[in-house]
Amino acid sequence: MNTTASSTATTTGSSTATTTAVDNAPSRTIELALTAQQQETVARSTIAGEASDLAELAARAIRETTTGEFSRLPMPATTRRKSAWRDDLTTSPGIERELLEEFVLEPSTGRAIEMAAGEVLRLEQIEGSQCLDFNCFSLADYREAFHTGRTRTLHGINPTTGDFLWSAPPRERAMMFILADSVGCNDVLFPRCSANMYESVYGFTRHTNCADIQAEAQREYGLTPDDVHDSFNLFMSTEVVDGMPRIRRQDTAPGDHVELLAVMDVLAVPNICGSDVQPTSNYSLKPVLVQRFRASEADLAAVPDLWEYDSQRAPADFTQPRIRTERALHRDPSYVPAFLTDAVVTSVETVELDPETAALFERMWDDGLSARYGARGAGLRDVLFSWWAATHGH
């Protein structure tokens, strides 16, 4: 064992660069400030046999970072378990799609559609080039809703076939699966267009807009305009140019479609985007065909396995589970903070590197780490956890 836990310098909050006595000379001895949860990470790696101790783990990170030869290492056991979402569904062999509902969504309108898990919503271009905004709520709890941010992080700004629509933290569950997408032209970068957007940008005091159309469609289920959330924008072609989101004309034809399969019971709310003064729908407003099906066996089989975790929290797990009805905010005088402060207590570990590894690390230090960090300990922590994330993350 080359590692010794030494002087426990406890600070809560930030774990910034460590000042050590050995910073001015190439040295095999480096002091590393680690939070309790970083210490736990190291302990998990040693228990898994990735290294015998912190010094060996650091040496492995330095060597593999130098060579670029990262091995994928298994995630440690977590609370993960396979979701049983499709177990209750009719999955008899050979079962075909069954049309349950069909209608044409006209310009300036939207519709709130109840969907059971295992149903498919097909949105199909009639004339072509029409954008649809789409909201999605858990039918069992409207506070669980589609989240563009989580979806964008996992699937990029243009989700397509094979991607999921996810709910916001702390729920973070898959809500719908993109079963088919004939064009690959969807967006999670732009928020819904709104009345004020048209007035403030273009001077219209009255203009069709997705926020108001969504609000009116959702009113059938008692939701308020505040409950409209940022949308999944179907058939909306977007890009980022010089850090700014841009809308492009779209190139969709009659028959082009997106199919969304519900993996929980949802209220699905598509609407015809109200923009006829932007390239979103090529400067016109057109109807779209909407169909709801009971999924076929093949549809259900196309959805990859989903996993459930204890960290996907429901109201029963919340410290404050009650939905407020009073609009003004007032401080709770009995409030006591309950943050995870013990997880960020920092202690300093002394790491001894063998001469060969120390020389590799010195090269890293000279090649860039020293420009970013004031102390070798902070640099070594960067190397260690960059390696850890690259080898253990999904």
Least distance from Zn ion to the Cβ atom of residue 227, Å: 17
Q: Which is nearer to Zn ion, 198 or 365 (CB)?
A: 198
Phi then psi for residue 246, to 5 deg, are -130, 145
Query: Which pair of structure tokens corresponds to residue 309?
Result: 């975790």
Total number of residues that touch Zn ion (CB under 5 A): 4
Please, what is the minimum distance in Å from the beta carbon of residue 36 to Zn ion? 47
CB of 185 closer than 8 Å to CB of 282: no
- Do 354 and 15 form a contact (C-beta atoms < 8 A)? no
Nearer to Zn ion, 146 or 361 (CB): 146
Task: Tell me the closest approach of the beta carbon of residue 251 to Zn ion, in angstroms.
Answer: 18
Q: How far is the CB of 231 from Zn ion (least distance, A)?
A: 8
Nearby residues of 84 by Cβ (< 8 Å), 6 or more positions away: none
Q: How far is the CB of 275 from Zn ion (least distance, A)?
A: 5
Closer residue to Zn ion, CB minimum distance, 228 or 262 = 228
CB under 5 A: which stretch of 20-28, 178-186, 202-210, 241-249 binds Zn ion?
202-210
Positions 273 through 302 that interact with Zn ion (CB under 5 A): 273, 275
Between 57 and 210, CB nearer to Zn ion: 210
Q: In Å, what is the CA distance from 205 to each residue of 199, 278, 298?
A: 5, 17, 48
Token representation of residue 224: 């308020």
- Name which of 65 and 158 has its Cβ closer to Zn ion: 158
180 contacts 257 by C-beta, under 8 angstroms: yes
Q: Is the peptide bond before 76 cis (omega within 30 degrees of 0)?
A: no
- CB-nearer residue toward Zn ion: 285 or 358: 285
The residues pairing with 102 across neighbouring beta strands, listed in sequence order, are 291
- Nearer to Zn ion by Cβ, of 62 and 236: the residue is 236
Q: Contact letters (x/-) for Zn ion, 315-334, by CB under 5 A?
A: --------------------
Q: Does 264 bind Zn ion (CB under 5 A)?
A: no
Taking CB under 5 A as the binding criterion, the range among 56-64, 210-218, 253-261, 308-316 that sits at the site for Zn ion is 210-218
Residues 182-201 that bind Zn ion (CB under 5 A): 193
Termini Cα distance of the chain: 31
Beta-carbon contacts of 142 under 8 Å, excluding residues fewer than 6 positions away, are 221, 223, 227, 267
Which of 34, 175, 210, 345 touches Zn ion by CB under 5 A?
210
Instruction: Give me the least distance between CB of 271 and Zn ion, in Å please.
Output: 8
**How many whole angstroms separate alpha carbon 383 and alpha carbon 31?**
14
Distance CA 47, CA 45 (A): 5
Q: Quote the crossing angle between the two packed helices 54-67 and 355-364, to the nearest 10°.
A: 60
Task: Give the nearer residue to Zn ion in terms of CB position, either 20 or 233.
Answer: 233
Helix (H) or strand (E) holding 260: strand 257-262
How far, in Å, CA of 291 to CA of 282, rounded?
A: 24
**Nearest distance, CB of residue 246 and Zn ion, angstroms:** 15
Site residues (vs Zn ion, CB under 5 A): 193, 210, 273, 275
